[in-house]
Chain A
Amino acid sequence: MADIATTYNEDVLIKELGYDDHFHDHHHGDKYQSSFISHYIFSMDHKIIARQFLITGIIWAIIGAAMSIVFRLQLGFPEESLTWLKPVLGKWIVVDVNGIGTLAPEFYYALVTMHGTILVFFVLTAGLSGTFSNLLIPLQLGARDMASPFLNMLSYWFFFMAGIVMFYSLFLSTGPFSGGWTAYPPLSALPQASTGSGTGMTLWLVSLTLFVVSVLLGGINYITTVLNLRTKGMSLWRMPLTIWAFFVTAVIGVLSFPVLASGFFMLMMDRGLGTSFFLSEIFIEGQALDRVGGSPVLYQHLFWFLGHPEVYIIILPAMGIVSEVLAVHARKPIFGYRAMVYSILAIAFLSFIVWAHHMFMSGVNPFISNFFVIFTLIIAVPSAVKVFNWITTLFGGNIRLNTPMLFAIGFVSMFISGGLTGVFLGNSTIDIQMHDTYFVVAHFHIVMGVAAFFGMFAGIYHWYPKMYGRFMNETLGKIHFWGTMIGAYAIFWPMHYIGMAGVPRRYYSFDSFDAFKHFADMNKFITIAAIIVFAVQLLFVINFFYSIWNGKKMKVKNPWQATTLEWTTPIEPIHGNWPGKIPSVHRWAYDYNKDEREFVPQYVPLEEGEVGDH
């Protein structure tokens, strides 16, 4: 890094101006590092916990993605034999007398359900916000650790247990739950409703209840840390946008996940105690059940009261990461910092009053739908403000097109494409045609699935040196980016057309519908694209694990020349983050190219006559 325009001696500045909390006087730092088990496994250090969340998330992502390849094979190549999958899937591949193997329909549904549950909760909630909130909140705020390292550790282990229970359910002889990731009753409320509705659903509920506990423990900790443990000078309006995003995400989580838990407990009572909260006039094999008086729509309300905020729990951290990465690698202050914060807050608020847009077709009163249409469309406004600000940040910047930056820009592209289709769906009249078709699948995969992954990749490539002291390989990273970018559009773009033609989602086969026959080729194309994208992700996984031990070493503390505090900590991470005093903060996080200076870190005091902040 010979071309650094400005260098700062952070050690001296921190020593002179830093805040002394006498942390290292007490020696409680050492006890965490006493053994392998307490250091790497039951660790209470936020940096280790962040990596635990990340690696667990990666493992789940591989499992979830592999499942999608299997059901895509069924959709793209329904006639081909899947006998070769028999060794892995066992009895779920039914081989006929000619040796042709087909995927059992029940298992197709189970795969779709597990794919959704795993990706939404385990990967994009725990893997994304769990990883980066843990890593960055203390580091960027100048805190020694989370408010409660112990609860933080519990948060990870509840997530881990949730994973174990879900994983176990994959091997049940009746298969895991198969009624969709939203777990609507009656499939979820009656153990006898389908194969996955018995033990599979019970374990699904246990797993997700553990997961809710994990999210609450994590969220309470993140909020408390942000509000109470900021270093000297770090006012709320000086926090990087990453922290704003994680903070608001945690608030949404703490308010919405308990409502999901309410729904879960009612489901448990319906399943185990014979109540009928969500059941009414059900016939099984011609026999009327005596379960009357409830309503499945009630569950949908409870579910989507979490469900819609949940999609923002997924996307907000990605937005925060992208804002940070764009500013650092465009060498420009983020455009409209305050507008960004207000949009995050507006999105968070609105996300609580739009849930019924998932239920336009569930028999909700059309007058009530009107209310939800209006607020749903209003969400487009703060979303557009954010998009505008990202693009303006890029405009005229001194852009470094490295892998994190590419993914951050890719995020913006995906968010625009997927957000636009949301505006279609938000109109209840158009939704009559679109609901439960592949159009919806295309919408949410682009805007949530792919975009959130892009935010996560941007974050991983950007903060990898902070986590592992090494860089990931750039060439592989760029191949990973272009493969994913082009591949993801190749998968999801055609789905819009299929959806507009009315092809329903979650169907095992379209054999019996003549109208949908001519989409066979498009489905093949999508499946092939999905397989390629999956292969490209394996490249990422290899790069990730290879670089932990063999990546290019980080030689300077602040390789990206960023302004935020995490880059002032030693390359070799220590417990308590800073060896001596904690840096104090004198300016906002986006002083790039300010008054002839290439960048000015947050710990550098204002100069005589310099106007601070923004």
Chain B
Amino acid sequence: MSTVTMENEKRKGINPQKFALWLSMGSIIMMFTGWTSAYIVKHAAGNWLEFGLPNMFYISTGVIVLSSIALHTSYISYKKQWEKMYKGMLVLTFVLGIVFIVTQTQGWYELFAMGVDFKANVAGSFTYLITWAHAVHVLGGIATLIVAMIHAFSLKFRYREERKNRFELVLQYWHFVGVLWIYLLFFILNIR
């Protein structure tokens, strides 16, 4: 019997929540793949309005990069148990997240002022659609940041494996929407 119990110990697999998060990211990527492929096809078909991207979009890129750095610092601080840094950086991330949405909104106004509305040419329609859809996903991230802040400020500060894992969920999603934005920006810049 002993050989039997030896074979195949119960695996300590990856955290199911994290795994589910990665699957959701896969889904989100597929959705954007749908749009970007349609974009490429339509672009190749011609009758495509060419325009430069609003400057605000570059500023927002900087903002979202900073926010990712801030959140990562907060995460490291949590692990090192630097309470102040952890909380401060978390709040900073949240603020930068809001700033990102604001700068994106400014960007859309700028785009509109440049004469690109979402109706006249599919080039414009796609640009709005893709950036809007991305912003919606950032809003989702901001919602999780709010939950993380509620935890940070209402629970007693203590390092717990469980809390670290939960933090990692927020962290990974936030990095994900950041990277997604940079990818989309390069995509739109290169194909127009």
Contacts and interface: CB of A to CB of B under 8 A. Distances in A.
Given A224-B16, A229-B16, A254-B23, 18 more contacts: A19-B10, A148-B16, A220-B23, A221-B20, A223-B23, A224-B19, A228-B14, A232-B10, A254-B30, A255-B26, A255-B27, A259-B31, A261-B34, A262-B32, A269-B129, A276-B119, A294-B122, A295-B45
B31 A261 contact: yes
Interface of A: 17, 19, 147-148, 151, 216, 219-221, 223-225, 227-229, 231-233, 235, 254-259, 261-263, 265-266, 269, 273-277, 293-295, 298, 301-302, 305, 584, 586, 605-606
A295 B47 CA distance: 12
B155 interface: no
Nearest to A582: B10
Contacts of B126: 277
7 contacts: A151-B20, A263-B34, A266-B35, A277-B125, A301-B41, A305-B34, A605-B4
Interface in B24-53: 24, 26-28, 30-35, 37-38, 41-42, 45, 47
Contact of A298 (B4, B9, B10, B42): B42
Contacts of B34: 258-259, 261-263, 302, 305
Interface string B159-173: 000000000000000
Interface in B76-130: 118-119, 121-122, 125-126, 129
Contacts of A17: 1, 4-5
A302 B42 CA distance: 13
B20 A224 contact: yes
A235 B13 CA distance: 13
Contact of B19 (A227, A275, A301): A227
A277 B127 CA distance: 12
Contacts of A305: 34
A219 B37 CA distance: 24
A355 to B, nearest CB: 12
A333 B49 CA distance: 62
Contact of B23 (A224, A235, A261, A293): A224
A235, A256, A259 pick with most chain B CB within 10 angstroms: A259
Contact of A606 (B4, B20, B32): B4
B121 A293 contact: yes
Contacts of A221: 20
Contacts of A261: 31, 34
Contacts of B27: 216, 220, 254-255, 257-258
A262 B136 CA distance: 14
Contact of A275 (B17, B30, B38, B118): B118
A247 B72 CA distance: 34
B38 A227 contact: no
Nearest to B48: A293
Nearest to B121: A293
A232 B8 contact: yes
A90 to B, nearest CB: 39
Contacts of B16: 147-148, 224-225, 228-229
A280 to B, nearest CB: 9
A584 B6 CA distance: 12
**Shortest beta-carbon contacts, A-B, top 7:** A262-B34, A258-B31, A259-B34, A258-B30, A275-B125, A605-B4, A147-B16
The main secondary structure of chain A at its interface with chain B is helix
Contacts of B42: 277, 294-295, 298
A233 B7 CA distance: 7
Given A275-B125, A294-B122, A235 B8 contact: yes
Contact of A216 (B10, B24, B32, B125): B24
A224 to B, nearest CB: 5
A277 B26 CA distance: 25
B133 interface: yes
A465 to B, nearest CB: 30
Contact of B31 (A224, A232, A262, A273): A262
Contact of A273 (B17, B20, B119): B119
A273 B124 CA distance: 13
Contact of A227 (B5, B13, B30, B118): B13
B38 A262 contact: yes
B48 to A, nearest CB: 9
A220 B121 contact: no
B33 A259 contact: yes
B8 A233 contact: yes
Nearest to B126: A277
A301 B38 contact: yes
A227 B11 CA distance: 11
Contacts of B20: 147-148, 151, 220-221, 224
Given A220-B20, A255-B27, A586 B4 contact: yes
A4 to B, nearest CB: 24
A539 B140 CA distance: 48
Nearest to B14: A228
A298 B38 contact: yes
Contact of B30 (A235, A259, A266): A259
B38 A277 contact: yes
Interface string B171-190: 00000000000000000000
Contacts of A258: 27-28, 30-31, 34
Contacts of B23: 219-220, 223-224, 254
Nearest to B133: A265
Contacts of A584: 5
B8 A228 contact: no
Contacts of B45: 295
Nearest to B29: A258
B127 to A, nearest CB: 11
Nearest to B23: A220
Contacts of A232: 8-10
A273 B118 contact: yes
A229 B31 CA distance: 28
A423 to B, nearest CB: 28
B7 A274 contact: no
Nearest to A290: B119
Given A273-B119, A295-B42, A228 B19 contact: yes
A477 B20 CA distance: 40
Given A227-B13, A276-B119, A277-B125, A255 B4 contact: no
Nearest to A276: B122
B16 to A, nearest CB: 4
A219 B20 CA distance: 10
A408 to B, nearest CB: 31
A432 B8 CA distance: 55
A392 B19 CA distance: 38
Contacts of A227: 13, 19
Contacts of B129: 265-266, 269, 275
